[in-house]
A and B are shown apart, each in its own frame.
Chain A
C-alpha cells in the first residue's frame, strides 16, 4: 500500500528546481486556452497546471513521436520526467506496452523512451465535457503504470510513489522538503474529490454504453449508421493521430538505409491500398467504421486490453464535429 506525503507547494516547487539538474521535465502549461506539455525551465514551475484534465496531446507522443528516425539512434542527454499525466493516458500504456515491448521484435525506440522516463500521474479533480473513462471501467485517478502521483490541494502537494523509479525520486524529494503529514492510506480529502468526480462522470455519461455493450453493438450494427456518420468525415485522420492508443505508422526510406517512422491512420484513403489497386478500405464508411472495429473489437480481442480509454480527444479533434459518443448512444438506443 502506497504512503502519501503532504508537503507545501513551495517545497515541491523547490524540489522541481533541483530535479531540473538531472532530468528533462515536461509538465502541462496553459497556452491561451490550450493545456499542453512543455519542457520546463525554472521560470515555468509556478505556472504548472495540476489536476485539471487534460493535456491536448496524449502521453503516447513521448514514446511514439509523430516522426522519428528509427535506424540512427539518438540517445537522449538526460532521463525524462513527465508530470501531470491523467489516468486515462496512463491506462493507454497497458495496450501500447504490450504492442511495442514484445519478446520477439521488441521496439527499442519505444522501449528506450519508456524505460528512460519517470511518469508522475495526477488525479482529475474535475471532468471535461467529453471525458468518459468511467464508462469503460477506469477511474479518473491513476491506478496503473504511474511511477508517482501528485495532487495539489489548497496549496499543498500530496505525493506518493508506486514503483522503484518513483521510490528513488520520492526519497530525493522528501530528503529536501519538509513533510507536513504522512498518510498510510489515501487521504480523506482526496477520497472525497475522487468520489465527486467519479459521480460527475457517471452522471454525464449515463446514456453511454459500457465497453462490452459497445463491442456487441458495433459487431451487430447495420451499415446505415456508418453511412450516416461517415458522410461528414473528411478522412483527416486527426481522430487517430490524437488517440492515446492508436499506434499505426508508416516507414519512410531515407538514403543510407535509414528509415523514418511516421504516424499514420487507417482513416487515410490509401492506408490499405496494395499494388494493382486492391483496397479493402477504399469506401469512406468502411474506413470510418474500421476505427470503431479496431477500438472495440480487434485490439481488445488480440491484446486483452481496452483500446479506448474514454479520453474524448477524438471528439474534440474532429473537424467534421463527429461525436463518437453520440454515435454509440444512437447505436445502442
Chain B
C-alpha cells in the first residue's frame, strides 16, 4: 500500500514478457515489474498504456509469485483494443494494487462454490491458485464456468490441472455448443443445478458479466446461501482506483476502495448494483 510520501498517481514500470491467446477476444499478458510486486487475490491494478489510457484489471496469476504477474484482458473498447496489439518488450505503467480482495482466511474449513463467466474467470484464477495452496484447510472447491461458445472458454489447461486435484471439481457450460462439445449447454447458472453443497459449510463466489452476477446471486440465494456468504466482485467505471475520483460510486461506497469484492448483504440495498 502507498506510503504517505508516495505519489499516488504515478505508475511504476512493467515490461511485457509474453502474450498468451486465450480466445478470440481474450489474451493473457505476462509482465515483469521493475520492482517486486505483491498483491492479494481479488485486489486490482490500474494498467497504463503510455499516453493512451489507463484501465483497471485484476491480476490473474498467483499472488505467491512476486517477480512477474499475469493480466488477462478482454478486448472491450479503446484501451483494451490497443493493449491487444502489444508485443513482448513493451513497457507499461502500473498503479496499485488497490481495493479489498477475497477474505481467504474466512474460507478455511469451507466448501467454496465459484460461479464465473467470460473474462470474470481472470480474478478467479488468482483465487484458485491461493485455494490450491491452502487446499488442506478446505473442504472442497467447485468451479462453475460459463462462456458463449467452446472457443470462448479461457484457461483450458487450468481445468485439466484442477480436475486432477483432490477436493477440486469443475463444471463448464457454453451458451452455444459445437459438434465437439461434451459438457453442459446453457447459461452459467444452469450448472448450479448439478452441484451438491453442504449449506452449513458453504460460501459462494460470483464473478462475471452483470447479468450473470445478478441471476447467479439470485440462484445462490434461492439455494439457501446466506447473504453475507456470497462474495461478489463488482465492476464499475473507474479512473483513480484510490477512492478520490468518484466515478465508481455505488451509493456511499467507492467500489475501488471499499470493494471491488463485497458480500451480497453489503450491496443489496444500494442503487443500480447490477
A residues in contact (CB < 8 Å) with B = 70-71, 73, 99-100, 102-109, 247-251, 253-257, 259, 261, 264, 266, 271-276, 278, 280-281, 286, 290, 293-294, 297-299, 301-302
Query: Do A294 and B76 touch across chains, with their CB atoms under 8 A apart?
Result: no
Cβ-defined contact, B271 with A280, below 8 A? yes
- B140 → A minimal CB distance (Å): 33
Give Cα A302 to B80, complex, Å: 33
Q: Which residues of A contact B52 (CB under 8 A)?
A: 253
Q: CA–CA, A249 to B246, complex, Å?
A: 7
* B247 neighbours in A (Cβ, 8 Å): 248, 250, 264, 271-272
Known: A103-B4, A251-B239, A253-B51. A278 touches B210 (CB 8 A): yes
Shortest beta-carbon distance from B154 to chain A in Å: 17
What is the CA–CA distance of A105 and B9 in the complex, to the nearest angstrom? 9
Known: A249-B245, A251-B239. A257 touches B4 (CB 8 A): no
Complex Cα distance A195/B242, Å?
A: 43
- With CB as the reference atom, state the residue of chain A lying closest to B1: A104
> Is B244 a contact partner of A105 (Cβ separation < 8 A)?
yes
Determine how close the nearest CB of chain A comes to the CB of B82; give it in whole angstroms: 11
Using CB atoms, name the residue of chain A closest to B258: A302
Partner of B245, one of A109, A248, A298: A248
- Listed in ascending order, the chain B residues whose CB lies under 8 Å from chain A are 1-2, 4-5, 7-11, 13, 48-54, 76-77, 80, 93, 209-210, 235-237, 239-240, 242-247, 249, 251-253, 271-272
Chain B residues contacting A105 (CB-CB under 8 Å) are: 2, 8, 242-244
B245 near A264: Cβ-Cβ < 8 Å: yes
A293: chain B residues at CB < 8 Å are 271
Residues of B contacting A302 in the complex (Cβ-Cβ under 8 angstroms): 252-253
Measured between C-beta atoms, what is the minimum distance from B54 to chain A in Å?
A: 6
Q: Are B236 and A272 in contact (CB under 8 A)?
A: yes
CB pair B7 A294 closer than 8 Å:
no
Asked if B76 and A71 make an inter-chain contact with CB atoms under 8 angstroms apart, the answer reads: no
Contacts of B77 in A (CB 8 A): 275
Q: How far is B5's CA from A103's CA once the two chains are assembled, in angstroms?
A: 10
By a CB distance below 8 angstroms, the chain A residues around B13 are 257
Residues of B within 8 A of A257 (CB): 10-11, 13, 48, 50, 93
8 Å CB contact of B54 from A103, A253, A266, A298: A253
In the complex, residue of chain B having the shortest beta-carbon distance to the beta carbon of A110: B244
Is the CB–CB distance between B50 and A256 below 8 Å? yes
A274 & B7 in contact (Cβ 8 Å cutoff)? no
Nearest CB of A to B193, in Å: 27
Please give me the residue from chain B that is nearest to A299 by CB atom.
B252
Mind listing 27 A-B residue pairs with CB under 8 Å? A70-B9, A71-B7, A71-B10, A73-B7, A104-B2, A251-B54, A251-B239, A251-B245, A253-B53, A256-B50, A257-B13, A257-B50, A257-B93, A264-B246, A264-B247, A271-B237, A272-B237, A275-B76, A278-B235, A281-B272, A293-B271, A294-B249, A297-B252, A298-B252, A299-B252, A301-B252, A302-B253
Give the Cβ gap from A279 to chain B, nearest Cβ, in Å: 8
Contacts of B50 in A (CB 8 A): 253, 255-257
A69 to B, closest residue via Cβ? B9
